[in-house]
Amino acid sequence: MPEADPRAARVEAQRKRILDAAQQCFIEHGFHGASMSAIAETAGMSAGLIYRYFENKSAIILAIVQEQLVLLREEISLNDRPDLPTLMAENYARTCNQRRGMNAALLLEISAEATRDPQIAAALDDYDQAVRQALCDWLARDPDAGGHGLPPALARQRALMLQCLFEGLKLRETREPRLDRKLLLEALQAVVPRVLAP
């Protein structure tokens, strides 16, 4: 097994520090309120060093979206039939690890920036299409293989509905973080099985 390149590992560690700091700053101050100097301070490095890795804040946002897409492709675990309403209710307004799942406020900031930056819009579209395809594949997969056995056309429709539900919950998190979890679970238990049913 070849040894890892120490320089590449250092570069990746620096990029990770910058992306984590940027996510924190974007969540706390918004995309336009988070200056490169604030990101640098949060990362514990100079702004000049950040510019060696990222041309500007848009490049950082693009890297965050691309990173989330890679994580999604690596980690989406729709190989079984989880209790989706319970998982959705448990994850509602939960502070997630910055590297695993996009924070609701950050998703809103990135979505807003996508209306102004075509590169970010394209990256977000790739992310959306990957999520939808993963959901569609899961819904169409044979039940013996952990899927729901929906016909392909119906799987596409239901994948879109699930995606809208997921994103709607993210938006709701920003406006109502203390939502009654029992009420949310009951609502999801009433709706989600209908979306998954043939």
Which tens digit of pLDDT belongs to each residue from 131-171? 899 899 989 999 988 889 999 999 999 999 999 999 999 89
Residue 109 has pLDDT above 90, yes or no: no
Given a contact cutoff of 8 angstroms between Cβ atoms, the answer to whether 72 and 130 are in contact is yes
Q: How many CB atoms lie within 10 A of CB 48?
A: 9
Given a contact cutoff of 8 angstroms between Cβ atoms, the answer to whether 31 and 61 are in contact is yes
Given a contact cutoff of 8 angstroms between Cβ atoms, the answer to whether 176 and 128 are in contact is no
Max Cα distance, the chain (Å): 56
The predicted model scores a pTM of 0.77
Give residue 79's pLDDT band: very low, low, confident or very high (50, 70, 90): low
Instruction: Return the percentage of the chain with pLDDT > 90, whole number.
Output: 51
Residue 70 has pLDDT above 80, yes or no: no
Average confidence (pLDDT) over 183-188 = 97
